[in-house]
Structure 1
């Protein structure tokens, strides 16, 4: 634990990535980065259904539609790899937005450095308060995590 009351100690656990392979698209999911914005389950419930296992079924919709819904994921917990292209293309130009409570939402061709080295990213939500146990990513554990920060209309 951390020395400060109410603050979680950072973990050194290596990020766990789950992969769901489909015919035209592969979906990856990093549970520790999920901020439960529900863009996926609201956008394509036939693909993303928390009540079944596996909860992601990439072939339940057109690969282009699956990619479109995944790109709504603000944290980057969900990503995709098209069968023909290899990797999710980054937004261009790169954009940075600070939420009203201080988190940084970045989209573009990103190189993020954390406890496990450098990672190429296309979408991230970075901690703005320093309380996240998943640094540099936000995990909604600190004061910079307000429920309305996940509102898609404000992005």
Structure 2
């Protein structure tokens, strides 16, 4: 009999919140949000933390909502259009290492997690190993005080 103490425990499947609007659906994965605030700055009528629900995609044209969602560096916000079209990945794929160790990725990504492989178009991966949401950064390690440089997010 082999002792498997070091095997990772599978993570729970991601919990997504879904917000429907005319022509677009926005999803939000709270555990991935790093509070870069690109959404709130980009379209405050759609992304308003004072309202419930806080995401109201019907308050702007689907193309505007999609443009702002693509600014979310962590991938916590995603969208798909009413015709079924999902967000296209950046081409070529880019990887940027932030000074605090986080890795910002954009492109056609396959990320292995404890709950299986995920297809992503944007992600911020943990570079310090302290995240409780591996492999994604959750600001629980040395990068806890790090802010996103707006120029890095585009």
Report the TM-score, using the length of structure 1 for normalisation.
Answer: 0.89
Give the distance between the partners of 2:69 and 2:135, measured in 1 at CA.
21
Counterpart of 1:4 in structure 2 is: none
Larger Rg belongs to: 2
The yes-or-no answer on 1:64 pairing with 2:63 is yes
Give the distance between the partners of 2:107 and 2:59, measured in 1 at CA.
28
Counterpart of 1:19 in structure 2 is: 18
**Per-residue deviation, residues 61-99 of structure 1 (Å, max 9, x unmatched):** 011111111111000000000112421110011111100
Q: Is the 8 A contact 2:11 2:113 kept in 1?
A: no
Counterpart of 1:6 in structure 2 is: none
Give the distance between the partners of 1:34 and 1:109, measured in 2 at CA.
20
Q: How many residues align?
A: 145
Counterpart of 1:35 in structure 2 is: 34
Q: Is the 8 A contact 1:22 1:59 kept in 2?
A: yes
Report the TM-score, using the length of structure 2 for normalisation.
Answer: 0.89
Task: Find runs of 4+ consecutive structure 1 residues off by over 6 angstroms.
Answer: none
Q: Is the 8 A contact 1:20 1:58 kept in 2?
A: yes
The yes-or-no answer on 1:152 pairing with 2:154 is no
Secondary structure of 2:15's aligned partner: coil
RMSD, matched Cα: 1.5
Counterpart of 1:123 in structure 2 is: 122
Unaligned 5+ residue runs, structure 2? 1-8
Unaligned 5+ residue runs, structure 1? 1-9
